[in-house]
Amino acid sequence: MLDNLDDIHPLFHGAPTSTEFKKLRKRIVRYTREAIEQYGMIERGARWLVCLSGGKDSYTLLAVLHELKWRGLLPVDLLACNLDQGQPGFPSTVLPAFLEKMGVPHRIEYQDTYSVVVDKVPQGRTYCALCSRLRRGNLYRIAREEGCSAVVLGHHRDDILETFFMNLFHGGRLATMPPKLVNEEGDLFVYRPLAHVAEADCEKFANAMNYPIIPCDLCGSQDGLQRQQVKQILDQWERNSPGRRQVMFRALMNARPSHLLDPKLFDFAGLERKSGEIQQIDREIPDLR
């Protein structure tokens, strides 16, 4: 890991010199690189739209991608993008000032999706679904305008686990956020390079770097969200059995269709037993009575 000021990206200037932080940084970089390679995200010479909300996860994403690019391990162009959705009180100058200071190529886009969400969502319902669809549509448009082949999001391991359990408890399906997918139109990839990174590591990293965190005041201010409830369940399980999150995450990478119940994934009806061979073996076994 390069730590001399002349040999690192400005996003890492002022990084703590403690052994603990260096291990944290190395772990996040390693896990991100593993995910990028394991799920085949690299297209040499491509351009990625790196989505930056101002939260701890997106700051971590931005920093680690620039770390990999700085070290010659990510041969793509990176364009940071923040979509200002018009939430009241959103500090619209924070991210542009930060990105300018860090020398990060970026685009700031203003679209008042907040008013649409508040107008369309009935009182008492959560904003997340509509807000997410509007945000994603705008990001796809921006990616096309900027000649990007991929939209890169900051979802981490815990987001993926929570989504799995939300689908299990509320959606009646075994599904989660994949680390790589193609959008419905078929012209853009969606990548999640932090898929193997724990949320706690993102939080420790962004706080240690003193990045200017911007909280989400739209959905984050609502009580009773399904994701919050699932998160509380996972937190309790983790307290009772430390390391359980990682065990459950590994299970998502070790699916066995023949041991589930979906006939579209496994041909249960076509299973046949080898009765002839069994009978032949039975005849060959001597009677020991």
Measure the CA–CA gap between 60 and 195, rounded to whole angstroms: 12
Residues 57-70, mean pLDDT to the nearest whole number: 96
Taking only the tens place, the pLDDT of each residue in 5-42 is 446 788 988 899 999 999 999 999 999 999 999 999 99
For the whole prediction, is pTM greater than 0.85? yes
Strand partners for 108: 82
Taking only the tens place, the pLDDT of each residue in 127-174 is 677 778 888 899 999 999 999 999 999 999 999 999 999 999 999 999
Residue identified by tokens 């937190």 is 235
Q: What is the pLDDT of residue 283?
A: 57
Q: What is the pLDDT of residue 1?
A: 43
Surface-to-core class of residue 241, CB atoms within 10 Å of its CB (0-12 exposed, 13-18 middle, 19+ buried): exposed
Q: What is the pLDDT of residue 239?
A: 95
For the chain, give the percent of residues with pLDDT over 70: 88
Is residue 93 classed as helix, strand or coil in its secondary structure?
coil
Q: What is the pLDDT of residue 63?
A: 97
Taking only the tens place, the pLDDT of each residue in 43-55 is 989 999 999 999 9
Confidence class for position 232, pLDDT limits 50, 70, 90: very high
Surface-to-core class of residue 36, CB atoms within 10 Å of its CB (0-12 exposed, 13-18 middle, 19+ buried): buried
Backbone phi, psi, residue 225, to 5°: -65, 145
Mean pLDDT over all residues of the chain? 88
Q: Which of 247, 140, 158, 242 is nearest to 196 (CA)?
A: 158
Measure the CA–CA gap between 234 and 29, rounded to whole angstroms: 25
What is 5-259's CATH number? 3.40.50.620
Under 8 Å between Cβ of 161 and 196: no
Q: What is the pLDDT of residue 285?
A: 60
Question: Can you give the residue ranges of every domain in the chain?
Answer: 5-259
Distances (CA, A) of 191 to 14, 76, 178: 29, 13, 8
Starting at the edge strand that comes first in sequence, how are the strands of the sheet with 77-84 ordered? Answer: 106-110, 77-84, 47-51, 150-152, 189-191, 180-182
> Strand 189-191 and strand 106-110: pairing?
unpaired
Long-range contacts of 123-127 (CB under 8 A, 24+ apart): 126/219, 126/222, 126/224, 126/225, 126/226, 127/218, 127/219, 127/222
Q: What is the pLDDT of residue 87?
A: 80
Measure the CA–CA gap between 281 and 260, rounded to whole angstroms: 30
**pLDDT reading at 72 higher than 50:** yes
The first and second tokens of residue 113, run together, are: 């999706």
Taking only the tens place, the pLDDT of each residue in 87-109 is 888 888 999 999 999 999 999 99
Q: What is the pLDDT of residue 52?
A: 95
Under 8 Å between Cβ of 64 and 211: no
Distances (CA, A) of 169 to 17, 244, 245, 287: 43, 18, 17, 54
Looking at per-residue pLDDT, the higher value among 277 and 1 belongs to 277
Q: Which of 176, 205, 149, 186 is nearest to 32 (CA)?
A: 205
Cβ count near 194 (within 10 Å)? 30
Looking at per-residue pLDDT, the higher value among 36 and 229 belongs to 36
